[in-house]
Structure 1
Amino acid sequence: MITMIELGINNLSKSFGANKIFENVGFDIKTGEIVGLIGRNGTGKTTIMKILMGHEDYEGEVFYRKGVTLGYLDQIPVFEEDYSVKEVLYLAFKDVYDIKKKMMKIEHSLTDGDNDIDRLMKEYGQLQERFELLGGYDIDEKMSKVTIGLQISDSIQKMKFANLSGGEKSKIMLGKILLEKPELLLLDEPSNHLDLKSIEWLEEYLKEYKGSVLIISHDRYFLDRVVNKIVELDYNGASIYHGNYTYYLMEKERRFIEAYNRYKENQKKISKMEEQIKRYRIWGKMRDSDKMYVRAKELEKRLAKMDKLDKPVLEKTKIKLSSKGFDRTGKEVLILKNVEKSFESRTLFSGLDLTLFYQDSLAILGDNGTGKSTLIKIVMEVLESDKGSIKYGSNINIGYLPQEVNFEDENISILEAFQYKYNITIGEARTELAKVLFIKDDVFKKISILSGGEKSRLKLCMLMYEKVNFMILDEPTNHLDIDSREILEETLLEFKGTILFVSHDRYFINKIATKIGEIENKKLEFYNGDYEYYKNELLKKADSIVPKREQTNRSSNKNYNRKRVDDNEKIIKRKKKQLEAIEMEIELVETSIDELDKEMLINSTDAGKLNEISMEQNDKKEALSKLLEEWEIISEYIDSLR
């Protein structure tokens, strides 16, 4: 693949009136790059997307590769009222269907002997070639891939698009854009409104995407798995990191340490010169020497011209909440037995059992619509279960953090809300608020203008002050930027009580959960570990299907010994042979890639040949990536049997 700049941004600035959003932003997106655009809420990420689509004016320079096609979900368009979801998705192939209509018209004309058959056949051939090039014969296959991946079922496809919720419409429009396959894809929070299975499918889809992608996302797990470049926005510009989210974290820390060391060296030089100036002045006074004063003035001029580095600031300040002092619960915090809940004729779960122990941190997972939030509402006694029993342990003090935090009176300040609620002094209130980073004039902000992250911080501060010992959270990271998510994580990691939560933020789950409970087939299945442990257990289950199938296929053979099939050593031996075969394939593909490298050097002046070799090399690299992934999965399976 020939690498070109698909999109370039230079010295981009944007203000709304006197309010500066950002300035001097510059970065580019090259062919094949998947770029994550990150930054605190309010730094202008979505504004940049709107600028790129021509919906906002700006200062600076934005340029695209000539002829590049763009795809961006800006807002939900309005379609004709009777449009079904399926018809909306098929609009992605409008150009293909227009060609098909022309082909059908020519087919009809060919039956009329009076027409110029040679001309029509030539035109038909050109249209057919174009139809095939645009993937006209693969439309159903493409539709199936995207609808299955995003879990857009047949029943949903038959629904009227106008009758869908906002979240459902966003998912359908994401599907339509993916089907259009633009050369440059602009995605603003694409994992919103998707469950975990759909998010994981989207990750794999984007990793194989042939074009370039710019993604705004607060999903750190998603950024880790998909992007190969991070652009971090702040109010003074953009910083570029050539790697995924984990690389960004490490590189940002390295840059900070490097900048801080430069600052310290700079300060040493300044201090040394100031001391010299001071000494020359003292000596000049003691000896009544003009020469010493002259030297002092020369040094002062040098000091004035010298570059003075600003002290680098590490933006993240750790919260100082403490959960000491709350009353301990008993060993068993929550017991659910044989719980069932249905809505009309649809049963969400039945025979559901759950025992939550002191200091457990349990994440409830499951596909959309399996009843995760319903279960939380039952535990909170907002909803009643149809069957079963719910029992709380002794000495329970529950604190609840919902998806969207609201306060009874949002026209008062943070300080007033805290002070009045607990009838404490201003000083006491400020001390508590400072623990969640509300300091100085921050405490005078009205609650109505706070971001989602700031409201969550205030609510957490209140819960901790109330000494809750059982925390229940329903999608707590929704609408939070990365910094706010990290503050929430720090708070919960400091919390010494018990936690029950629903979330689709895998990074958050992996940090907070000590157990996973997945609602599947109307039951709750438990995994005693974090998210990575849960995923590995699912992988083992998937891999175990292979030997089970082999056992089933051979069961008809009377002489077949079932015990030998279940013997781990036999399975390992067979899997090792698979590994050896894959390793041979890997070696062959790597050799082919090396040979293609040599061909590129030989044909370095032939652009057409270079393009052909590059495309072949790219296919080989994709094949190599899949082989390596297959090798890794089988290796992990072998390790699990030992």
Structure 2
Amino acid sequence: MIAINLDRVTVTYISEPVFERLSWEIHDDRVVGLIGPNGCGKSTLLKLIVGELTSDTGFTVRRKGLTIGYLQQEPRLEPARTVWQEMLAASTELKRIEDELTHVEARLADPVVYGDEKKLTRALDRQARLLDEYERLGGPGYEGRVRSTLRSLGFSDADCDLPVGVLSGGQKKLVGLAKLLVTQPDLLLLDEPDNHLDLEGKAFLGRFIRGYKGAVIIVSHDRYLLDMVADEIVELEDGRLAHYPGNYSEYAFEKQMRLLRQQQLYQVQQKEIKRLEQAAKRLMTWGAVYDNVKFIRRGKNILKRLERMDRLDRPVLERKRMGLELEGWRGSNKVLEIVDLDKEFDDAIILAGLDLLLWRGERVGLVGPNGAGKSLLFRLILGQETVSGGGEIKIGPSVKVGYYAQEHETLDYDRTLIETVRYAAKLSEEGAVRFLGRFLFTYEQARGRVANLSGGERSRLQMALLMLSGANFLLLDEPTNNLDIPSAEVLEDALADFEGTVLVISHDRYFLDRVVGRIVELDEGALAEYSGGYSDYQAAKATR
């Protein structure tokens, strides 16, 4: 059944259309992965569906009684509330009924009401209707559902008393998901719900979506998740929607097939157009030379046919992508050696007796729960934190380290992009602009400040700086966060060609399967090693 129908909708931002005359029938029985490059309008489309934006053209029809749950990239939570208070406020309908019941109970205690039989009867009838509605919406068991949902997501009773403002990004995402889980709307709109989640959180998200009884539209760059949950992929590109049945891998294959078929049809049509144009030209020439009206009329008829022809667009087989090339160089055979490393904070042991050895050319993935100390370990390797409690970190003598920071803290937000790359390498202003163009930055962006960039654009700028660094040992902290799928694929290809060593923190399971040959898990202060990529790691964990 159709839940929402978008008919020729248009949204404009500062006089420029984000998309124009889109149509989409959204059904209530499937999980749809909504994909597309950064900035194409995916989040805008979700806001239009939920009703936060209005269309400049066309119309949006929602099925009567349809309930919609919307999880934004940054969940809307009240920082001053506790986790428990935020969860209790998830159901606005229950909250409304509770407030009305409180009001009715106050009226029943009023002598003006209980002393008047008619007023008392009306108040009691109103209370009865509210109690029936409260029970229908699951009010009596609501607090129990909230508590069990939070526990299933790893929140202890003590965590429930924490202010929302002190939670990590991943915990806030889980609270947002928990609110949707207890309210069970007919249609879920999830805008990059996997951001900030660790592997356990992502596994829960996959189970949550697959088991959901309503419809789900999920915007995500996580190809592994889209393979796991999607029944259909809808791609927003160049202001148009294209529908593909199946998951992400099926979409990737089918899209290539469609492009090739479109290219063949385009070439056939162009050949036919050229043939007809030449025929019309010949007839018009003969008509003029031999003064033959019949030839001229036939030539004009052919030109009219060409004008009426539905011309196919030339398919874009290869879209412009960032030009990332990580060359590296051989360097030392023993790149990194960590021996019996300890790290304490306020008498709490964070890292305990870590041992790790990386050889030249290895690609190693570092995984573990949020808060396990993965980024801390990177800061220790970089010398930004001091070792406490013993141990040693040794970096090979012919090793130059390049660092990609998850929160972009290595960037100076007050500099322009041109100043940033010229500070990193000896480039003229013209050369800096050309170089930034390889990473899809316009001239206006190149002259602007880093602070004006989006998260994905800052990620591309960090990639550009890695390329200029000439490093042969890369420490990458969540490099695919904020990158769209094409940019993530460019990074994967660049790392495959990189003549150097890589240690990467990532919760991107697809990326780990494509890039690394060894997984190192950091949990409860200790390291455990697994051969292969993420799928091998997952299989090995399942047998332990």
TM-score after normalising by structure 2: 0.84
User: Does residue 212 of structure 1 match 2:206?
Assistant: no
Q: Distance in 1 between matches of 2:324 and 2:133?
A: 64
CA distance in 1, matches of 2:188, 2:326: 45
Aligned-pair distance for 1:277?
4.3
What is the correspondence of 1:169-318 to structure 2 with a 5 Å cutoff? Answer: 169-277=172-280, 295-314=298-317, 316-317=319-320
| Distance 1:375-1:454 versus aligned 2 partners, 3 A rule | same
Partner Cα distance (2:323, 2:347) in 1: 49
SS at match of 1:459: helix
The 3 A distance-change label for structure 1 pair 144 and 196 is farther
Alignment-mate amino acid for residue 357 of structure 2: T
- Whole-angstrom distance in 1 between the partners of 2:232 and 2:332: 48
1:154 is paired with a residue of what secondary structure?
coil
Q: Percent identity?
A: 35
Change beyond 3 A, Cα 1:443–1:95:
closer
Alignment CA distance shift 1:322-1:95 (3 Å): closer
Q: Compute the displacement of 1:399 (Å).
A: 0.9
Partner of 1:331: 333
Aligned residue in 2 for 1:17: 14
- Could you tell me which residue of structure 2 aligns to residue 89 of structure 1? 87
Query: How far apart, in 2, do the equivalents of 1:46 and 1:437 lie?
Result: 21
Query: Aligned letter for 1:84?
Result: T
Query: Please, which of 44, 48, 51 is the counterpart of residue 45 of structure 2?
Result: 48
Distance 1:95 1:51, change over 3 A: closer
Aligned-residue offset at 1:156: 1.0
Pair 1:64 & 2:62 matched: yes
Mapping of residues 484-499 of structure 1, within 5 Å: 484-499=487-502
Q: Which has the higher helix share?
A: 1
> How far off is 1:369 after superposition?
1.1
Give the conservation status (yes or no) of the 8 Å contact 1:21–1:235. no
Specify whether residues 422 and 193 from structure 1 end up closer, same or farther in structure 2 by C-alpha distance, changes over 3 A only.
closer
Question: What is the deviation of 1:527?
Answer: 0.8
Match of 1:78 in 2: 78
SS of 1:327 mapped into structure 2: coil
SS of the residue corresponding to residue 89 of structure 2 reads helix
Q: Give the letter for the 1:65 counterpart.
A: R
CA contact (8 A) 2:366 2:521 kept: yes
Of residues 119-128 and 428-437 in structure 1, the stretch that sits farther from structure 2 once superposed is 119-128
Structure 2: runs of 5+ lacking an equivalent: 110-116
* Contact in 1 for aligned 2:321/2:487 (Cα 8 Å): no
Aligned partners of 1:397 and 1:469 also within 8 Å: yes
SS in 2 for 1:271: helix
Q: Distance in 2 between matches of 1:432 and 1:126?
A: 68
Report the counterpart of residue 454 of structure 1 in structure 2: 457
Letter aligned with residue 87 of structure 2:
L
Bigger relative contact order, structure 1 or 2 (CA pairs below 8 A, ≥6 apart): 2
Between structure 1 and structure 2, the one with the greater Rg is 1
Unaligned runs of 5+ residues in structure 1 are 110-114, 542-642
Residue of structure 2 in register with 1:563 after alignment: none
Residue aligned with 1:260, SS? helix
Aligned equivalent of 1:370, options 369, 372, 379: 372
Corresponding position: 1:476 with 2:479 = yes
Cross-structure match for 2:537: 534
1:120-139 aligned at under 5 Å gives the runs 134-135=137-138, 139=142
1:381 aligns with one of 376, 380, 383 = 383
User: Which secondary structure state, in structure 1, belongs to the residue aligned with residue 379 of structure 2?
Assistant: helix
Tell me which residue corresponds to 2:113: none
Counterpart of 1:308 in 2: which secondary structure?
Answer: coil
- Alpha-carbon distance, 1:364 to partner: 0.8
Seen in structure 2, the aligned counterparts of structure 1 residues 210 and 432 have a Cα distance that, compared at 3 Å, is same
Contact 1:327-1:395 at 8 Å conserved across structures: no
Match of 1:504 in 2: 507
Amino acid of the structure 2 residue aligned with 1:63: V
Q: Is the 8 A contact 2:341 2:352 kept in 1?
A: yes
CA distance in 2 between partners of 1:346 and 1:221 (Å): 35
Question: Secondary structure of 1:478's partner?
Answer: coil
The answer as to whether partners of 1:23 and 1:236 remain within 8 angstroms in 2 is: yes
Q: Quote the Cα distance in structure 1 between the aligned partners of 2:23 and 2:402.
A: 44
Deviations 1:563-609 (A, max 9, x none): xxxxxxxxxxxxxxxxxxxxxxxxxxxxxxxxxxxxxxxxxxxxxxx
2:59 corresponds to which letter in structure 1?
E
Q: Deviations over 1:420-449 (max 9, x none)?
A: 6433456765675565456x8588553534
Q: Deviations over 1:17-69 (max 9, x none)?
A: 31221111221222222222222222222222323333223222112111122
Q: CA RMSD in A?
A: 3.8
Which residue is equivalent to 1:29?
26
The answer to whether the Cα contact below 8 Å between 2:194 and 2:202 also exists between their aligned partners in 1 is yes
Partner Cα separation in structure 2 for residue 531 and residue 136 of structure 1 = 42
CA contact (8 A) 1:23 1:235 kept: no
Contact persistence 2:191–2:218 (CA under 8 A): yes
Name the CA shift for 1:407/1:263 in 2 (closer, same or farther; >3 Å): same
* Alpha-carbon distance in structure 2 between the residues aligned to 1:388 and 1:7: 60
Which residue identity is paired with 2:30?
E
Q: Distance in 2 between matches of 1:396 and 1:39?
A: 38
Amino acid paired to 2:17: K
Check the 8 A contact 2:228/2:247 in 1, yes or no.
yes
How many angstroms apart in 2 are the aligned matches of 1:266 and 1:395?
58
1:454 to partner: Cα distance: 3.5
Contact residue 422 and residue 429 of structure 2 kept, 8 A: yes
List aligned pairs for 1:572-611, cutoff 5 A. none
Q: Describe the superposition over 1:240-276 as per-residue Cα deviations: whole angstroms up to 9, x where unpaired.
A: 2222222221222122112111101111112222343
- CA change 1:212–1:306 in 2 (3 A) is closer
Q: Secondary structure at the match of 1:67?
A: coil
Match of 2:68, as an amino acid?
L
